[in-house]
Chain A
Amino acid sequence: MTATTNTLTARVDTGPGLRGLVRRAGGEELWMKIAAPVSLVLAMVIFTILSPTFLTWDNLDGMLADSAIPVLLAVGMTFAVMLAGIDLSMASTLALASVVLGAVYDGGGLVLSVLAAIAVGAAVGAVNGFFVGRVKIPDMIVTLGTMGLVQGIGLIWSKGVPKPVSDHVLTTIASDSVGIFRYNFLIVAGIVLLLHVLLAHTPVGTHLLAVGDNADGSKAMGLRVSRVKLVGYIVCGTMAGVGAVFLVLYVGASQPATNTDYVMKAVAATVLGGTSLFGGRATVWGPALGALLLTVLQTGLTMVGVDAFYEPAVVGVVVLAAATLMRGRK
């Protein structure tokens, strides 16, 4: 016993600093943790060198505004991925919620239409969570199904026609600033902070991670697994609903057509942010930075003259590479 204690202490007794961190966390885990912030800084430096207009406030401000929807979807997606799940329906949920926003806005007004859009997102999330958690159908199949269903409802309802929504409050949020930051960035930052508190500082967050890590063990400890999963998918769907509000204020109209890019980008940002695809390990700020990184890459590549057609391929490679790095864990 004594001998073991000694070797264990010896192995563990590493102070702070990079080497200690590497030894304590293991190289791969550390890498997953710092991938997003380090790549973000690297990308900023490289693009600043390559393009003189990259590091201007105009451009930074624009990128922050552009990243609003990717960030919202990425942090939402994280709540499905941390459960070892995925939500393929996020983009079509966003489309449907924007249709609902457009429909309710006439007659209902801004507040009601925004609440309706968010409620639609939460409702789709609840359907996903119900089928994944209670009916126990694989997440891919469930969200593939709701993806089609929700997309269909949006198209039928809107007849595929975008509906203009011009509201001075939305315009203000999109373009006005408090201090140096635009309202939309501040709202997104507030939501990210809120979800961070939920994940890291409430029992709900711990339960989500525990269920994602070890569903049987969590059940043995008395957690209601299906209910925990329901919560995760509702958070995910709600973020799609909030994303719809930002899409409408961004383009000034509802968007019945699904932008499938959103889902891939959200998953990419999630894994870039250090979320384990096998569940149980996640932060909120990681995927938020991951989404910011993807936006910076997109803007930067465009500014240095790389064709925008390369972007999906880059994102796809990122997903595959990250998944490969995680292979063999668990």
Chain B
Amino acid sequence: MPIGLPQPGLGEILIDGQPVRFASPLEARRSGIETVYQDLALADQLTVWQNVFLNRELTWGPKGIGILRRAEMRRRSQDLVQRLAVNVPSATRTVKRLSGGQRQAIAIARAVMWSRQFVIMDEPTAALGLRETAQVEDLIRRIVDEGTSVLIISHNFEQVMRLAQQVWVMRAGEVVNGERVSDISGVELVAQVTGAAGMPPSTEALTAGPADREAN
């Protein structure tokens, strides 16, 4: 699938018209596809800037073993959270000191910073309360306005209707419908999904995203 886990059984993935195959999440990242995992993949005891630059550290000297450019990474992380108006006071805080919404925002900001194609978000608000959900949705709208394509995996139909411009409905591992959100109602969406129990719809905001076909 588009992040390299698991391998697709059928079909192909095209980026800018070129077929690609990802053996690992790392390869997908190298192609500019960033993922915000449902569990966020943050190291709680590291600082915000260390997480933002995790495995992409800026260094002086040889790559991998050079000396960290800490000040520059701090500054760029601070710029990032300020640009996205993520209400995180300082990039030097450890992630575990942040609220659930802030942690989600950091994971999203990190993905936005590094993505060149689009960002996949797996259930971005599943663990959040109402107010934090609203904040994160705000952030998602803002990064879409800034020009990042976002693919959200969500089982929250109201959220899909609020955020998405294009929706793909998946049932039993197959795409059963793809439509503009403006052409479909929430009730219809629910009806399509509940053809089989518990299949989450996929939605994508912005049409500028890559050709992305998933099959079985």
Contact = CB atoms under 8 A, between A and B. Distances in A.
Interface string A175-205: 0000000000000000000000100011110
Given A4-B87, A222-B26, A214 B68 contact: no
Contacts of A163: none
A112 B89 CA distance: 54
A280 B35 contact: no
A56 interface: no
Contact of A280 (B45, B66, B70): B45
A213 B45 contact: yes
Interface string B1-39: 000000000000000000000001110010000010101
A217 B67 contact: no
A217 B43 contact: yes
A214 B57 contact: no
Interface in B66-107: 66-68, 70, 87, 89-90, 93, 97, 99, 101-102
B127 interface: no
A276 B96 CA distance: 14
Chain A interface bracket (under 10, 10 to 19, 20 to 34, 35 or more): 20 to 34
Interface residues of B, number: 38
Contacts of A219: 25
Contact of A201 (B42, B70, B101): B70
A5 B64 contact: no
Contacts of B35: 220
B55 A202 contact: no
Given A209-B46, A223-B55, A330-B44, A1 B68 contact: no
A308 interface: no
Nearest to A224: B26
A12 B43 contact: no
Contacts of B59: 202-203
A41 B35 CA distance: 48
Contact of B67 (A202, A207, A210): A202
Interface in A13-31: 13, 24
In the complex, the 7 A-B pairs of residues with the closest C-beta atoms, listed nearest first: A217-B41, A222-B26, A213-B43, A220-B41, A280-B45, A203-B57, A210-B43
Interface of B: 24-26, 29, 35, 37, 39-46, 50, 54-55, 57, 59, 64-68, 70, 87, 89-90, 93, 97, 99, 101-102, 131-132, 134-135, 138
